[in-house]
Chain A
Amino acid sequence: MEVSMRGQESFEEWALARQQRFVRSAYLMTGDFQRAEDLVQEALIRAAQRWGTLHSGQPDAWVRTVIFREHVSWWRRVRRETLTDQPPEGTHCTPGEAPVMVQAALALLTHKQRSVLVLRYIEDLSITETATILGVSSGTVKKQSSVALARLREIAPGLEELVEERS
C-alpha cells in the first residue's frame, strides 16, 4: 500500500506538472481543445497503469508518443481534413500579433502537416523520431515538413524568419 501511495504521489506530481504542456502540444496538432484534453487524459491513464516501470524511464516521451499515435489513428480512421480560413473557435489569444498568427496558420494546415510541424519544431524531435511516431518513412517526414513550411510561409509570411527548415 505504501509503495502504491508513493507511486500515486510521484505520478500525480509528474502529471500535474506536465499536463498543460501536453495539452498545448495536442491542441496545436488537433486545433480542438476538447479533443486535445481527451487525448492527453487517455495517455495519462495509460501511463498511470504502467507507472511502476514507466516512471524510471522516459514517461514524457512515452506519453507524447501515445498522444500523437492516438491522434494519427483518429485521423486515419476519420480520413478527412477540415480546412478552414478561420482560426479555431473557443480559444483565447494574447494581444500580441505573432501568437495569433501562429494559431491561425496552424489551423490552415492539414493534420499531416500540422503533426509534422508540431513534432519537429515544437517538440523538437528528429526526423527519425517523428517518422517513428507518425508511422511513416523519413522521406515522408522531410517532404511533409517542406510542404508544411512552404504553406506556412505562404499563409503567414511574418513567421518565415521564425521557422527555419531543418534537414
Chain B
Amino acid sequence: MKFTDLVDEIELPTTNVAQGAWAAARRRMRRRRTAVVGASAVLVLVVSAVALRGAPEPAQPFVEDPVSVGPFVATDFPADSDKVRSESNLPARVTEDDVRADAPRLFDEPIEQAVLVAATVYDFDERGYDDQRITFYGTDGETRSLVLSDLGLTQDEFQGVDGSGLGNLSPDGRRWVFATTKRIVVLRLADLDVVSLPVPDGLQPINATWTGAGTITYGVAEKYSLTVETDLDGSVTRRGSPPSRVFRDRDGRVYRFQSDETSRLLISEPGGAEVSLSYSLEDGEFGPGAINPPGLSSFVDDLGDDTDFARDDGDSALKLFKRVDDRLVPTARLQWGDRLTGDEILGMPTSDSVLIRHGEDLCLWAPFAEQAITCLAEISDRLGISVAFDVVRID
C-alpha cells in the first residue's frame, strides 16, 4: 500500500464547501462593478467641473481622484540609495553570519535604543532558550546579542518556531515584546527591566506586537480570530474577535476594517464615539496592510491575492489611502511585478510612506518623494526581523 492510499483512508466529515461558492463569487464581482461605476461617475463629474471652471490649478501632491491614482510601477527595487542608507539608522546589510557572529551580551552591556532585531528563523526549530539568540542593532551602531535564557524563561514555555521567537520592538525602539507559550514578556533595553504579563485563561499567546498606543496586542493560538490587548501592567483592555484587520494609533483610536460586506473602515475614538468611513476599490478587496501610528489617516492595501493572482505569478498592488471627509480615497498605487504578500508590508513610518521587505531588500515606498522607492538595507531572507519604525530616519 502506498502513502497516498493510506491518506485516502483517513476518514473526514463530508464537506459541502462548494455549495454557494458561485453565488458568493457573483456577489463579490457585483460589488466591484459598483465601485467601478461609482469611480467613473466621479471622473465624469470632475471632468465636467474642470470644463466649467477653466484651467485647473497646479498639480497638488496628493491626487484624490481614485481614477487618477498612480501607477508607480516597479519590478525591482533600485539599490542606489547610499545617502538614505547611511542616514536611516538601519545597518546597510545584515547576513546570517552577522547575526550568528559573537556580539556582547545584551544583559552584560545594555543599550538604550534599537532600530532592528534579527534572528535566524530556521534556528528556532526544536531548540531551547539556551541556544536562542536575537541580535539587537542599536541606534549607536553597535550590536548586542540577547540569549533568551537570560530572561529567566524556562524550557517548558519554549515556543519552538520560526519568527515567533523574534518578538517585536516598540515603535521607539526602547522596549521589546516577546511571547512564550504561557506569557508575554516585555524587556526595557536600557535597564533590562523584565515585565511578565499573564495571559487570560491559560491560553497560548502568539505574535505579540505593539499597537502604536503603547499597549500590546497578541493573538491566541487556540483561536485563530481572537486577539487580546493589554496594558503594560497586565490588565486586558480589549478582547474580541476582530471582523478583519485591526490597528490602533497612539491616541487610542481603533481602526477596524469591514471588508467582506460593508466596505467600511470603523474608527473608534477613545471616548467611545465611532466614525465610519466608506471606501471603494475598483479592483479588489482589502488585504493585509498597515496604518501609520501618528498619521491616522492612511493605510495600505494588498490586492494581489484577489485580482491578479489568476495570472499565475501575477502582479500585486499596494495602495495608499487618505481620509477625505467620510471617505477613504486612494492617493497612490504601487503596481508590483512580483507577488507581494501581506507580511512583507512592515509598516508605515510616516503617513505617506510604507516600509516593505521583499526578498533581501528592505525598502521604503514614498510615492510623493522625489525617489518613490528607496532601499534602506539588505537583509538576508533567512532572517526574521522587527523594525522600530519611529527610529528609522527617512529624510
Contact = CB atoms under 8 A, between A and B. Distances in A.
Contacts of B52: none
A5 to B, nearest CB: 10
Interface centre among A11, A82, A121 (most CB of B within 10 A): A82
A66 B309 contact: yes
A80 B125 CA distance: 10
Given A80-B161, A110-B125, A122-B3, A93 B10 contact: yes
Contact of A77 (B14, B15, B29, B343): B343
B206 A79 contact: yes
The A contact surface, by secondary structure, is helix
Interface in B10-63: 10-18, 21-22, 24-26, 28-29
B3 A162 contact: yes
A8 B341 contact: no
Contacts of A122: 3-4, 7
A159 interface: yes
Contacts of B17: 19, 22-23, 37, 40-41, 44
Interface centre among B162, B163, B219 (most CB of A within 10 A): B162
A147 to B, nearest CB: 8
B161 A81 contact: yes
A79 B164 contact: yes
B6 interface: yes
A34 B98 CA distance: 42
Given A50-B310, A66-B309, A162 B12 contact: no
A96 to B, nearest CB: 6
Given A48-B25, A163-B3, A81 B162 contact: yes
Given A23-B15, A54-B310, A80 B207 contact: yes
A6 interface: no
30 contacts: A20-B15, A24-B12, A28-B10, A35-B224, A40-B17, A45-B28, A46-B305, A48-B22, A49-B29, A51-B25, A73-B305, A73-B343, A76-B162, A76-B163, A76-B341, A78-B207, A78-B224, A79-B166, A81-B159, A82-B221, A93-B10, A94-B10, A99-B10, A102-B10, A110-B125, A122-B3, A122-B7, A124-B4, A135-B341, A163-B3
